Amino acid sequence: MNENKQYDVVIVGGGVSGTALFYLLRTYTNVGSIALFDKYGGFGQANSHPKNNSQTLHFGDIETNYTLEKARIVKAASDLVATYCDKYGSEKLFKIYPKMVLAVGQGEVDALKDRYEKFKELFPALHPIERDEIAKIEPKVVEGRDPDVPLFALHSTEGYTVDYARLAADMVERGQSARSKDADVFLNTCVDSTRKTKDGFELDSSRGKIQARVVVYATGAHSLTFAKELGYADDLIILPVAGSFFHTPNVLNGKVYTLQLKKLPFAAAHGDPDLCRGDRSRFGPTAKVLPMLERGQWKTIWSFFKLFDLKLSSLMAVGSIIADTTYLKFIARNILYDLPLIGRFFFLPNIQKIVPSIKAMDVMPLKDAKGIRPQIVNRVTRKVSLGESRIVGDKIILNITPSPGASTCLKNGEHDMRDIIEFFGDEFKIDDDRFSTDFPKRS
């Protein structure tokens, strides 16, 4: 690496977010020199890895915690990924399975029917189905279930299941070959700190110093650490929510989601075929609060507490969220799910809500899932902020991407691309015609 070279744009983080931006800048702008850094030996090895996330391209049709407005936004963002997959994707990148959201019991059935009336216009591919049809599409969902319990589902044939690590690698490859000029990619390179200089930024990395005019951090929860180092986001801390999964024999043909609780988005488990293990179904994720920014990376416990800035308000914010009885019960339950040997017994009812005939001996914990959803907490308001968070500073952008950050990677990348072009004034431009031709509006 040439320590004296100043890149126009440096992107730190080769997950699906950083690589989406790399692809967009290379393909749709004339920005001169761009470098992409990641600390691991491949792209998408952290939260974007298929073992660590649910592999779902979220549209908001079967995610019942989304309001209509939020679903509209997420759909527009996910449409970009669907378009990319349809255009360039192979079997290895994504698969399309049927998907449904399942209501069990009269209360849920009424709520889902009501929701359908409001959402059907936005999602014309979503169809209401009753018990008989559910049984045809997903026999195991009905088999062994009490016939007196009402059942209803919203079903679509368009369930995109994406290997976001492969998507990340694909976007880097396409970005590199988009034009011949100046794109450097450095793996196994950890960036440690950032300093503002007279004409940009200097970053310290395990390979030496990096000079940049504009910097984008797409390092998940770590982005907040870098933001604070530069004096941004004083009010924000992270509540890291780790997710584990369980395997069973193959019992599902597609994705089966259940109704989410309003207060606990993504808390309700779902089941689906696993892209990594075609012979298995996967259920989860659980949601366990862990004091670390990256699961299994013990030194990130220190990084987590460093975000608190020794401020009592940070502890009070986490304390007041955890003290809420809904959260407290949920956190306690999720600790039980991860207990060795007996955790699966506690998790079993969540699976049986979807596939009643599953027995504990069919359920195996998936040991190598290492995903963490960085939920952003405002220590002043003591509230969890849902969705992605972008911190846009002076010629620097820092992205923290809780779920569904993989689904929205290209839209977030588009926002970053437009901000970056603005940072440079008239120096570079976006080829908007090409962008809108490549990503036309989908119905």
Ligand X SMILES: Cc1cc2nc3c(=O)[nH]c(=O)nc-3n(C[C@H](O)[C@H](O)[C@H](O)COP(=O)(O)OP(=O)(O)OC[C@H]3O[C@@H](n4cnc5c(N)ncnc54)[C@H](O)[C@@H]3O)c2cc1C
Residues that bind ligand X (CB under 6 A): 12-18, 37-40, 44-48, 52-56, 58, 164, 190-191, 218-220, 222, 243, 285, 371-373, 401-407
Q: How far is the CB of 65 from ligand X (least distance, A)?
A: 13
Q: Which is nearer to ligand X, 106 or 193 (by Cβ)? A: 193
Strand pairing class (208-217; 396-400): parallel
Burial of 367 (0-12, 13-18, 19+ CB in 10 A): exposed
> Alpha-carbon distance 186 to 119, whole Å?
44
Q: Which is nearer to ligand X, 47 or 156 (by Cβ)? A: 47
Q: Which is nearer to ligand X, 62 or 103 (by Cβ)? A: 62
Q: Are 420 and 8 in contact (CB under 8 A)?
A: no
Q: How far is the CB of 156 from ligand X (least distance, A)?
A: 16
> Alpha-carbon distance 380 to 86, whole Å?
44
> Alpha-carbon distance 240 to 303, whole Å?
12
**Angle (deg, nearest 10), helices 68-88 and 164-178:** 60
Q: Which is nearer to ligand X, 37 or 327 (by Cβ)? A: 37
Q: How far is the CB of 241 from ligand X (least distance, A)?
A: 7
> Alpha-carbon distance 35 to 212, whole Å?
9
Q: Which amino acid is at 144?
A: G
Q: How far is the CB of 19 from ligand X (least distance, A)?
A: 7
Q: Which is nearer to ligand X, 15 or 271 (by Cβ)? A: 15
CB-closest chain residue to ligand X: 15
Q: How far is the CB of 262 from ligand X (least distance, A)?
A: 19
Q: How far is the CB of 55 from ligand X (least distance, A)?
A: 6
Q: How far is the CB of 14 from ligand X (least distance, A)?
A: 5
**Per-residue tokens: 352:** 């049986």
Q: How far is the CB of 222 from ligand X (least distance, A)?
A: 4
Q: How far is the CB of 107 from ligand X (least distance, A)?
A: 26
Q: Are 411 and 80 in contact (CB under 8 A)?
A: yes
Burial 391-404 (b: 16+ CB within 10 A, else e): bbeebbbbbbbbbb
Q: Which is nearer to ligand X, 75 or 145 (by Cβ)? A: 75
Q: Are 225 and 303 in contact (CB under 8 A)?
A: yes
Q: How far is the CB of 259 from ligand X (least distance, A)?
A: 17
Q: Are 294 and 372 in contact (CB under 8 A)?
A: yes
Write 333-338 long-range contacts (CB < 8 A, 24+): 334/286, 334/287, 334/288, 334/289, 335/288, 337/244, 337/286, 337/288, 338/244, 338/286, 338/288, 338/365
Query: Among residues 212, 192, 218, which one has the least CA distance to residue 34?
Result: 212
CA 222 remoteness from chain centre: 15
Q: Which amino acid is at 29?
A: T
Q: Which is nearer to ligand X, 94 or 327 (by Cβ)? A: 94
Q: What is the DSSP letter of 187?
A: -
Q: Which is nearer to ligand X, 126 or 275 (by Cβ)? A: 275
Q: Are 400 and 378 in contact (CB under 8 A)?
A: no
Q: Which is nearer to ligand X, 138 or 388 (by Cβ)? A: 388
Q: Which is nearer to ligand X, 29 or 53 (by Cβ)? A: 53
Q: How far is the CB of 63 from ligand X (least distance, A)?
A: 10
If you write DSSP's letter for every residue of 56-75 in order, what string do you get?
B---SSS-TTS-HHHHHHHH
Q: Which is nearer to ligand X, 65 or 401 (by Cβ)? A: 401
**Angle (deg, nearest 10), helices 325-337 and 343-354:** 110
